[in-house]
Amino acid sequence: KSKNAGRNCFNVYSPELKAEADQRNILEIELREAIWREEIEVFYQPVFELGTGHVKSVEALARWRHRTRGLIPPAEFIPVAEESGLIVELGNLVLAKACRHAVMMPDDIKVAVNLSALQFTGGNLVDSVMLALMDSGLAETRLELEITESVFLADSQDNLKTLERLKRLGVSIALDDFGVGYSSLSYLTAFPFNKVKIDKSFIDRIGRSETVAVLGSIVQLAKTLNLSIVAEGVETFEQVEKIRSLGIALGQGNFFSEPVPLGELLLQGFADSERQAVA
């Protein structure tokens, strides 16, 4: 023992940490198995045009149907998938399922799939996207890929080339969780995105005048760049009104609809939302 090793010192061999590491390893083993057995389900959350209430697209969101623990949300397994590299296989599975599901939806509905930065470096992303499209017969114009700033952080030159190849396939590219990073504005001009999704944290603070000012300039920039804008995580009618008055055309959030399983989405029938603000 070193002379500094007191009772508050970090001990790598503590039983608590060992238990945590064991749990994490079990989760990884179970996740690998679940991907293999295709026990990763895809839920869909619609994106609404605020002026008309029409559904314009649906976002594919992964859910793990665990044998004993029930439905596990992404917050619990996406970090494990990222750390272990399983996110590449998981991402390909979600992509393939979402494309197969999308052909069951009306032609004017796009399907959006989230991509991890690791899919740009750890797999053959362009091939996977082409395969998913060919396998399902989905028109490339109906697929949207959501990326975050993290894609620009590592291997940014190679990733940018991959992003350009993806766009040339005819799919659209959206920048997700916009505003939570450090240099968001510069990334907005680093690539010709089709869409930008304003992070929920902004929508949560939309009651403040500073937030309104920041969002106002983002809307201006997006219009200059010819980008469509989505407000994420809309929960209240007050937020809908503010978003609309700022000129943001699209909204997604539990106020309109939570993510739902495919069956429920198809039954719901892509009906217009009655919850948009009155023009």
Q: Given the rule CB under 6 A, which residues bind ligand C2E?
A: 45, 61-62, 73-75, 78, 87, 91, 94, 114-116, 146, 176-177, 232-235, 253-254, 259
Q: Which is nearer to Mg ion, 30 or 105 (CB)?
A: 105
Return the number of other C-beta atoms located less than 10 Å from residue 278's C-beta.
5
Q: For residues 122 and 208, give the distance between their C-alpha atoms in angstroms, rounded to a whole number.
A: 41
Report, in this order, helix, strand and coil percent for the chain, each rounded to 5.
Answer: 45, 20, 35
Query: How far is it, in rounded angstroms, from Cα 93 to Cα 64?
Result: 12
Q: Which is nearer to Mg ion, 89 or 177 (CB)?
A: 177
Helix (H) or strand (E) holding 64: strand 55-66
**39 or 220: whose CB is closer to ligand C2E?**
39
φ, ψ dihedrals at 53, nearest 5°: 85, 5
- To ligand C2E, the closest distance from the beta carbon of 82 in angstroms equals 8
Q: Can you tell me the distance from the alpha carbon of 56 to that of 253, in angstroms, rounded to the nearest whole number?
A: 14
Which value, in Å, is the radius of gyration of the alpha carbons in the chain? Answer: 20
Could you tell me the smallest distance in angstroms from the CB atom of residue 145 to ligand C2E? Answer: 10
Euclidean distance between CA atoms 231 and 164, whole angstroms: 25
- Residue 62 interacts, among ligand C2E, Mg ion, none and using kind-specific CB cut-offs from 5 to 8 Å, with ligand C2E
Convert residues 113-152 into a mask of x (bound to Mg ion by CB under 5 A) and - (unbound).
-x-------------------------------x------
Min CB(10)–ligand C2E separation in Å: 30
Compare residues 179 and 253 and give the one whose CB is closer to ligand C2E.
253
Nearby residues of 148 by Cβ (< 8 Å), 6 or more positions away: 117, 175, 176, 177, 181
Smallest distance from the beta carbon of 167 to ligand C2E, in angstroms?
A: 19
What is the identity of the amino acid at 123?
G
Residue 45 interacting with Mg ion (CB under 5 A) = no
With CA atoms as reference, report the closest residue to 232 among 47, 37, 71, 100.
47
- Euclidean distance between CA atoms 141 and 266, whole angstroms: 21
Nearer to ligand C2E, 44 or 142 (CB): 44
116 versus 273: smaller Cβ distance to Mg ion = 116
Rounded least distance, CB 231 to ligand C2E, Å: 10
8 Å CB contact between 43 and 65: no
- Residue 12 touches which of Mg ion, ligand C2E, none (Cβ within 5-8 Å per kind): none
Q: How far is the CB of 207 from ligand C2E (least distance, A)?
A: 16
Is 228 a binder of Mg ion (CB under 5 A)?
no
Say which entry of Mg ion, ligand C2E, none residue 257 contacts (CB below 5 to 8 A, set by partner kind).
none
122 or 139: CB nearest ligand C2E:
122
Q: Say how far apart CA 89 and CA 93 lie, in whole Å.
A: 6
Residues in touch with Mg ion (CB under 5 A):
114, 146, 176-177, 232
